[in-house]
């Protein structure tokens, strides 16, 4: 997790992250596959909200230059959606967990949209912290798999296609790929939060776009 300057914005973002981490730990403990299903549903929200609102800001201001940031945020949302597709194949969520997904998505969508409208810098910082926690969670998940405490099953076909993995790829290979995605999202959101004072000169820092947005599966 990156060290950030002390401010109320960063304090709030970090506090919200710890709160959501506590909820995830309480509900799912070490059931990382099921945790991933619910959390990836929520994780797909921020990029879509940010991309939409930045798009609307560009229209209002009648300025160019917002394109790279819009595309990055939408690519992030799509990438998180694909993570959900992978872990649905692995965890096979029950009816209760599917209902929880619907409720969590609705609540978080409303909360994050309002937060981004009024406090976009804090919103990016919070998602940066969320992604830092996701990296930790996937690292813990990977350790359980590599230690034999969780079966290292074959990776879902959709994940093998998405990441161009070997046909013999395992769950551990998938987790490494997903964790790398989360590292990238953390870096991007912390970067946008750092640069937000220059928001009126759009896209002050274009992140290193990888091939995420080029993947067109599902």
Residue-level pLDDT at 19: 77
CATH number of 8-194: 1.20.1260.140
* Residue 7: band (very low, low, confident or very high) from pLDDT cuts 50, 70, 90: confident
Interval 150-167 mean pLDDT? 96
Whether 51 and 70 have beta carbons less than 8 Å apart is answered as yes
- Please count the other Cβ atoms lying within 10 Å of the Cβ belonging to residue 200: 9
For residue 2, the cross-strand partners are: none
Residue-level pLDDT at 209: 45
Domain residues of the chain, as ranges? 8-194
Whether 135 and 181 have beta carbons less than 8 Å apart is answered as no
CA distance 193 to 188: 9
For the record, the structure tokens of 66 come out as 């917002």
Interval 71-80 mean pLDDT? 97
Higher-confidence residue: 2 or 166? 166
Q: How many CA within 13 A on the CB side of residue 217?
A: 18
CA distance 10 to 129: 9
% pLDDT > 90, the chain: 61
Whether 139 and 1 have beta carbons less than 8 Å apart is answered as no
DSSP 31-98: -HHHHHHHHHHHHHHHHHHHHHHHHHHHHHHT-S--HHHHHHHHHHHHHHHHHHHHHHHHH---HHHH
Higher-confidence residue: 73 or 34? 73
* Residue 17: band (very low, low, confident or very high) from pLDDT cuts 50, 70, 90: confident
pLDDT at 208 over 70: no
Interval 54-80 mean pLDDT? 95
CA distance 16 to 71: 26
pLDDT digits (tens, 9 = 90+) for 108-155: 999 999 999 999 999 999 999 999 999 998 999 999 999 999 999 999
Higher-confidence residue: 203 or 100? 100
Interval 9-17 mean pLDDT? 84
Residue-level pLDDT at 182: 96
% pLDDT > 70, the chain: 83
Residue-level pLDDT at 3: 54
Mean pLDDT of the chain: 85
- Alpha-carbon dihedral sign for residues 124, 129, 130, 132: positive
Whether 179 and 137 have beta carbons less than 8 Å apart is answered as no
pLDDT at 29 over 90: no
Closest CA to 37 of 99, 109, 108, 86: 86
């Amino acid at each position: 997790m990156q060290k950030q300057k002390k401010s109320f914005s960063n304090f709030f973002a970090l506090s919200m992250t710890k709160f959501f981490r506590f909820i995830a730990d309480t509900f799912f403990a070490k059931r990382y596959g099921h945790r991933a299903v619910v959390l990836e549903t929520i994780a797909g929200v921020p990029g879509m909200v940010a991309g939409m609102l930045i798009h609307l800001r560009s229209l209002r201001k009648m300025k160019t230059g917002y394109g790279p940031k819009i595309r990055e945020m939408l690519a992030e949302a799509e990438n998180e959606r694909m993570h959900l597709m992978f872990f649905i194949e692995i965890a096979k969520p029950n009816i209760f967990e599917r209902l929880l997904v619907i409720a969590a998505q609705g609540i978080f969508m409303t909360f994050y949209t309002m937060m981004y409208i009024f406090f976009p810098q804090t919103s990016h910082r919070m998602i940066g912290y969320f992604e830092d926690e996701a990296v930790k969670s996937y690292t813990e998940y990977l350790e359980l798999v590599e230690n034999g405490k969780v079966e290292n099953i074959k990776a879902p076909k959709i994940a093998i296609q998405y990441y161009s993995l070997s046909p013999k790829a395992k769950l551990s290979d998938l987790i490494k790929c997903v964790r790398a995605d989360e590292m990238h999202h953390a870096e991007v959101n912390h970067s946008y939060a750092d640069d937000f004072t220059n928001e009126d000169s759009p896209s002050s820092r274009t992140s290193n776009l990888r091939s995420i947005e080029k993947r067109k599966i599902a």
